[in-house]
Amino acid sequence: MSNLLEITLGIMTAMGGFVDMSELVFTAQAGARFLYALIWVIVLGTIIIIVFGEMSGRVAAISKQPVFNLMRQRLGLKFGLIVLVAASIVNLITCAAEIGGIGIVMQLGLGIPYRLATCLATIALIATVWFLPFKAIERIFGLLGLFMIAFIVAAAAIHPPWNEVVAGLLPNIPAHLSGNLLLTYAYFVVAIISAVVFPYETYFYSAGAIEEHWSKKDLMVNRLTTIVGFILGSLLAISILINAAVLFAPRHIDPQMVGTSAMEVAIPFGKVGLGFALLGMFFAISGAAIETCLCVAYGPCQFFGWKWGRYVRPSEAPRFTLLWIASFVLANLIVLTGVDPLNLVEWAVVSAILVIPFSYLPLLLVANDRKYMGEHVNGKIANFCGIGSFAIVVVAAIAALPLYFLTSGGQQ
Amino acid sequence: MLILSLAPTDARASELEEIKRARSIIAESALTIQLLLEARIPSVFAEGLLEDAGEQLGSATEGGRLAPEMIAELKSAQSAIAARDAASLNQIVERLHQLERQHE
């Protein structure tokens, strides 16, 4: 019974924690600009994050090795260090974007001035990580992020053209696109893949498996959490896209303000719906902010073998503690410079896709190493999915920067 | 090479980008005002969004990158936002949308 409860909570946590600022921004813009044509990219990204999420959980449970430790082992000290620095910068920018998002939600929901809101949020997040154990942090924000289900309910209530939604599940290029718009479509393909498979999700999931002392007996929880939890989470992202296609596209809106996404629920359900949407956004984005900041600290600690984790008191892991507090403060300072959180999201998404292949490669190699994994080494299906997913993120990484510059971040 | 061959060669690309961004912000403002007047969103939410929209439109007019006609449209939009006039905003959105099509 307790195992069933554990699996259910794990799935719900994965679902509630699936959406962050990048998905809010890019899926809403994708729906508004290309209607249902990009749904398949969310599906593809979800398959990739399931494959590598499951792999990172399995590797952590069996080999007890977190991702950044594997990077050092498999990429070598020098190149591993370069990837570590790049990943830390990406995580920091992502965290800044999330803190900016929290500030916007607090400003819109409570009327607190934006900069004051981000400062209050940063203090609250630091206190949360300081006082709460790992599992409580993961569960509280993941489960309260389920307020985002309001977006799914809204999608059902507005009666989208389901035949077009279903058609969008298959890879396609809309026939009317050419020139600039075709490039922008390609940019959105890359950006949505990056937003769904953000590297911090794998780092955090793997670190969580180690913090919770996963072993062979947790492999089923790992598999169900990643497969069912992420599929349900992707429904949130797909719903945001569908709502944007139905409600925003006819009004010539390509959301340029984060708060606009919340109106997807306000249109069918009024103030109550808006309240649910803002609460969901607040907890989902806050959870992502905590995860990214902790990942900034996980990186160097795991790479250099320093003590890390929330299972020890902050004073027992001083470098880790200092790093995550510093990353919260630094992320908030970035926000306080006045940079638009949407720009931060774009930079985070474009830079994240460059780091993803180097984060996934060590995982793929270790998951194939029988010396580490024993009988839990990758099978044929896991390898087919793993190599296929890896090839896709490599292609996306190569295309990311040219597409970003040629389309001005998808604005053309 | 394929990507580069599809790249915009027109100097008007950046102007098109500004028009699209402004059109969306104005459309978002129109929707916000409409929902506010229908009491479907609280005023604190609407005020926050409209303040942000006004600031973004204001900084766009100060950039010196836009044609005078476009700046005039954005200033009209700012006035309409201040007057909570969704109908005028929707008219501006339609005009900007037509302008976009001419640039594409």
B41·A271 Cβ contact <8 A: yes
- A287-319: per-residue pLDDT in tens? 999 999 999 999 999 999 999 987 788 889 999
Give domain status of residue A356, yes or no.
yes
Give domain status of residue A181, yes or no.
yes
- The number of folded domains in chain A is 1
Identity of the residue in A257, A274, A406 whose CB atom sits nearest the CB atom of B53? A257
Identity of the residue in B24, B35, B94 whose CB atom sits nearest the CB atom of A256? B24
- CB of A217 within 8 A of CB of A58? no
Q: What does DSSP assign to residue A409?
A: T
Residue B32, token pair as written in the block: 């916000």
Residue from A269, A335, A325 nearest A106 by CA: A335
Torsion angles phi and psi, residue B73, rounded to 5: -60, -45
Give domain status of residue A173, yes or no.
yes
Say if B1 is an interface residue toward chain A (CB within 8 Å). no
pLDDT of residue A315: 86
pLDDT mean over B21-42:
96
| SS3 state of residue A112 | coil
Give domain status of residue B2, yes or no.
no
Give domain status of residue A252, yes or no.
yes
Residue B71 to residue A163: CA distance in whole angstroms: 42
- The dihedral of CA A261, A263, A269, A273: what is its sign? positive
Q: What angle do CA B7, A188, B30 make, to 5 degrees?
A: 100
| Residue A103: pLDDT band with limits 50, 70, 90 | very high
- B64-96: per-residue pLDDT in tens? 777 888 899 999 999 999 999 999 999 999 999
**pLDDT above 70: residue A87:** yes
- For residue A109, the distance in angstroms to the closest alpha carbon of chain B comes to 6
B24·A252 Cβ contact <8 A: yes
- H/E stretch holding A300 reads helix A263-304
Classify burial at A5, counting beta carbons within 10 Å of its beta carbon; exposed 0-12, middle 13-18, buried 19 or more: exposed
pLDDT of residue A59: 94
What is the span of the domain harbouring residue A187? 2-406
Q: Scanning the structure block, which residue is given the tokens 């474009």?
A: A350
Torsion angles phi and psi, residue A323, rounded to 5: -65, -45
Residues of chain B found within 8 Å of residue A108, distances taken between Cβ atoms: 44-45, 48-49
Q: Scanning the structure block, which residue is given the tokens 């803002």?
A: A278
| Residue A152: pLDDT band with limits 50, 70, 90 | very high
Residue A341 to residue A24: CA distance in whole angstroms: 12
Q: Select the highest-mean-pLDDT range: A156-170, A214-228, B2-16.
A: A156-170
A213: left (phi over 0), alpha (psi -120 to 50) or beta: left
B8·A271 Cβ contact <8 A: no
Residues of chain B found within 8 Å of residue A110, distances taken between Cβ atoms: 44
- CB of A107 within 8 A of CB of A117? yes
Torsion angles phi and psi, residue A214, rounded to 5: -60, 150
**pLDDT above 60: residue A338:** yes
pLDDT of residue B12: 65
Residue type, A171: P
| Residue A5: pLDDT band with limits 50, 70, 90 | confident
Residue A317 to residue A114: CA distance in whole angstroms: 33
- CB of A85 within 8 A of CB of A283? no
pLDDT mean over B52-71:
86
| SS3 state of residue A111 | coil
- A176-206: per-residue pLDDT in tens? 887 788 999 999 999 999 999 998 999 999 9
Residue from A237, A232, A250, A233 nearest A161 by CA: A250
Residue spans of beta strands (DSSP E) within A50-100: none
| Residue B31: pLDDT band with limits 50, 70, 90 | very high
What is the span of the domain harbouring residue B73? 13-103
pLDDT of residue A289: 95
- The number of folded domains in chain B is 1
Residues of chain B found within 8 Å of residue A266, distances taken between Cβ atoms: 35, 40-41
Give domain status of residue A207, yes or no.
yes
Classify burial at A4, counting beta carbons within 10 Å of its beta carbon; exposed 0-12, middle 13-18, buried 19 or more: exposed
Give domain status of residue B89, yes or no.
yes
Residues of chain A found within 8 Å of residue B91, distances taken between Cβ atoms: none
Predicted TM-score (pTM) of the model is 0.94
Q: What is the ipTM, given to two decimal places?
A: 0.89
CA distances in angstroms from A248 to A33, A98, A264, B52, B87, listed in the order given = 9, 23, 8, 18, 17
| Residues whose CB falls within 8 Å of the CB of residue A50, separated by 6 or more in sequence, listed in order | A226, A227, A230, A231
Q: What does DSSP assign to residue A375?
A: G
Give domain status of residue B3, yes or no.
no
Residue A269, token pair as written in the block: 């359900």
- The dihedral of CA B83, B84, B88, B93: what is its sign? positive
- A13-46: per-residue pLDDT in tens? 788 778 899 999 999 999 999 999 999 999 999 9
Give domain status of residue A411, yes or no.
no
Residue A222 to residue B49: CA distance in whole angstroms: 41
Q: What does DSSP assign to residue A173?
A: -
A183·B7 Cβ contact <8 A: yes
Give domain status of residue B42, yes or no.
yes
Residue A33, token pair as written in the block: 């600009």
pLDDT of residue B65: 73
Give domain status of residue B1, yes or no.
no
Residue B62 to residue A235: CA distance in whole angstroms: 41
Please provide the DSSP assignment of B84-96 as one string: T-HHHHHHHHHHH
Say if B55 is an interface residue toward chain A (CB within 8 Å). no
**pLDDT above 90: residue A6:** no
CA distances in angstroms from B81 to B18, B51, B90, listed in the order given = 19, 9, 11
Give domain status of residue A200, yes or no.
yes
**pLDDT above 90: residue A382:** yes
Q: What angle do CA A331, A337, A342 make, to 5 degrees?
A: 70
Give domain status of residue A19, yes or no.
yes
Residue A13 to residue A22: CA distance in whole angstroms: 18
Identity of the residue in B7, B28, B44 whose CB atom sits nearest the CB atom of A256? B28
Please provide the DSSP assignment of A251-267 as one string: GT----SGGGGGHHHHH
A263·B42 Cβ contact <8 A: no
